[in-house]
Amino acid sequence: MSQDLSNIVLVGMPASGKSTVGVLLANLTSRDCVDTDVLIQISEGRSLQDIVDTEGHMALRRIEEKALLGLDCHHHVIATGGSAVYSQAAMKHLKSDGVVVFLDADLPTLMSRVHNFGTRGLAKRPDQSFADLFEERFFLYTKYADVTVDCADLTQDEVCARIVNKLKTGKLTRS
């Protein structure tokens, strides 16, 4: 990893493990962890689902973009919301001081991990299925990723070890 890039930015679908891996990876790399979903809920004083229910999915995307653009942290692990990749400006900002790691899990794995997608506060159209959302976002995750880790069959500790190894060796490729 370049000395100029101090943050590790995690992107991926809901249930890919961003929040948990973020905390573990922060401990492993002696960094602080920022979970942007938590930041949004604190700043808005309500849940992500409440934002989607009352203002719609585009409002959540705008709020998330504002939160991401407002981040000014160094030497952190940043666990983004799943829809962070919709904002080109936010991703440019995150990449300016960070390496972006895509936690890639296939659709069956994601579906097996969480069954409450209807109440998770997903920034998706009301008529959009989780499978459609997965298909729509996959291109964006790969577009912005410096590192991709296939985490479907790995424990969260194994995912962290793989990320650390890729960053230490400078192998910014699919693993």
Instruction: Provide the 3-class DSSP secondary structure of residue 34.
Output: strand
Reported as a single tens digit per residue, the pLDDT across 15-65 is 999 999 999 999 999 999 999 999 999 999 999 999 999 999 999 999 999
All structural domains of the chain: 7-169 (3.40.50.300)
Q: Which of 54, 34, 31 is nearest to 44 (CA)?
A: 54
- The pTM assigned to this predicted structure is 0.91
- Asked whether 22 and 33 are in contact (CB, 8 A), the reply is yes
Q: HSE on the CB side for 128, CA within 13 Å?
A: 16
Handedness of CA 97, 37, 134, 163 (dihedral sign): positive
What percent of the chain has a predicted confidence (pLDDT) above 70? Answer: 91
Instruction: Provide the 3-class DSSP secondary structure of residue 101.
Output: strand
Q: Which residues pair with 79 in a beta bridge?
A: 10, 35
pLDDT at position 3 is: 47
